[in-house]
Amino acid sequence: MSPDRRGERRTRLLALLTEHGLDGLIVTVLPNVRYLTGFSGSAGVALVLREETVFFSDFRYQAQAASELGEAARVEIAQSNVWERVESVLGEYAGVATLGFEAHAVSVAESERLEKVSGRATLRPVKELVEGLRVSKSPEEVDAIREAARLAHEALDATLATVRAGQREIEVAARLEYELRQRGSEWHPFHTTVASGPQGALPHAGATEKEISAGDLVVLDFGAQVDGYCADITRTVVVGGRADERQRAIYDLVREAQLAAREGMRAGMTGRQADALARSMIEVRGFGDAFGHSLGHGLGLEVHEAPRVSRLNEEPLPEDAVVTVEPGVYVPGWGGVRIEDDVRLTAAGAELLTDGETQLREIA
Ligand code: ZN
Ligand code: ZN
């Protein structure tokens, strides 16, 4: 049995609420609700108060909430309107004077609704309090990401064994998604990309009806999810032939830059410093403008979360953060190469959670 972290997460959050002068927090961001309570469904709200955590959902989740939450929170199931139930629970706590809400994820309509149900409490917008707690991963969270990566690699191998020139990108994406689900991935954390030839120049190309031509570079960017935690992997392969000189040269450049970043990154470096490990190599070779995104992003219950491994991040990367390392070079009209692995950061370096096997695969 892995340890139950929900009690310590609640304690850390309460300390943050004190720091911010709040008596409670309404948590509406679902991955935050999951982090605090264990609820994995698609509709639920948590109200974190000093006295207790109360979880609200509707009839569909009655049984699931009871079994997933256990003692972690009081469960309130609304027969009609969840927000009326929030209002009545807040009515029990006359001492709650200031109540935070997750301003980064609440629409104007939702904030008006919150205003209505908060009764005597004054609402105060806060930004990413729970997200901040989520940055450093526990060993169990890292294990879940490692397991997601393991099954994703298996799914890729099974898929590549069937890939041939003449297949449509969307066909390859469907096969990859099938293989991922077959191995237990809970869901696809983002749109699978299978981008061939010139399509590869679009970093978020998705997968189209385009047929893969013999000799195309094909960028495959895909994810898997285990216990809610995401892996995010990109591999670029050649289909239906051998790499030509230009494909090989650009591939090797991206591969070297990715390896340099993986080997040089550590917790305590700023996002900018980590990004520069790969970027400086790509810039020196004249492809700086062709690497138009950041080196990586945090990974966890969400596929894009803090910290950013970016030129714009001057903050040190925290110990035990899990991040992607994904440099790319994109040439309009020609195509692109991106290579992405996932690592856990420590003061000593970056621990690889994916397989790190980045030699160029040429598929006949
Ligand atoms: Zn990716
Ligand atoms: Zn990514």
How close is the Cα of 97 to the center of ligand 1, in Å?
Answer: 43
Domain boundary among 113, 134, 155: 134
How close is the Cα of 253 to the center of ligand 2, in Å?
Answer: 19
Nearest listed ligand to the Cα of residue 219: 1
User: Total structural domains in the chain?
Assistant: 2
Do 248 and 101 share a structural domain? no
Do 253 and 182 share a structural domain? yes
How close is the Cα of 297 to the center of ligand 1, in Å?
Answer: 10
- Examine residue 231 and state whether it is found in any structural domain, yes or no: yes
How close is the Cα of 130 to the center of ligand 2, in Å?
Answer: 22
- Examine residue 233 and state whether it is found in any structural domain, yes or no: yes
Do 158 and 245 share a structural domain? yes
pLDDT 10s per residue in the chain (364 long)? 689 999 999 999 999 999 999 999 999 999 999 999 999 999 999 999 999 999 999 999 999 999 999 999 999 999 888 999 999 999 999 899 999 999 999 999 999 999 999 988 999 999 999 999 999 999 999 999 999 999 999 999 999 999 999 999 999 999 999 999 999 999 999 999 999 999 999 988 899 999 999 999 999 999 999 999 999 999 999 999 999 999 999 999 999 999 999 999 999 999 999 999 999 999 999 999 999 999 999 999 999 999 999 999 999 999 999 999 999 999 999 999 999 999 999 999 999 999 999 999 999 8
Do 37 and 114 share a structural domain? yes
> Using H for helix, E for strand and C for coil, what is the string for 287-339?
CHHHCCCCCEEECCCCCCEEEEECCCCCCECCCCCEEEECCEEEECCCEEEEC
Do 355 and 244 share a structural domain? yes
What domain range is 191 assigned to? 139-363
232: Cβ contacts below 8 Å, ≥ 6 apart: 189, 190, 221, 223, 299, 303, 324, 326, 340, 342
Cα(311)–Cα(309) distance, integer angstroms: 7
Do 144 and 130 share a structural domain? no
How close is the Cα of 172 to the center of ligand 2, in Å?
Answer: 19
How close is the Cα of 361 to the center of ligand 2, in Å?
Answer: 20
CATH of the domain at 220: 3.90.230.10
Which residues have CB atoms below 5 A from the ion given as ligand 2? 232, 324
Nearest listed ligand to the Cα of residue 297: 2
- Examine residue 1 and state whether it is found in any structural domain, yes or no: no
**pTM of the prediction?**
0.96
How close is the Cα of 92 to the center of ligand 1, in Å?
Answer: 46
How close is the Cα of 304 to the center of ligand 2, in Å?
Answer: 7
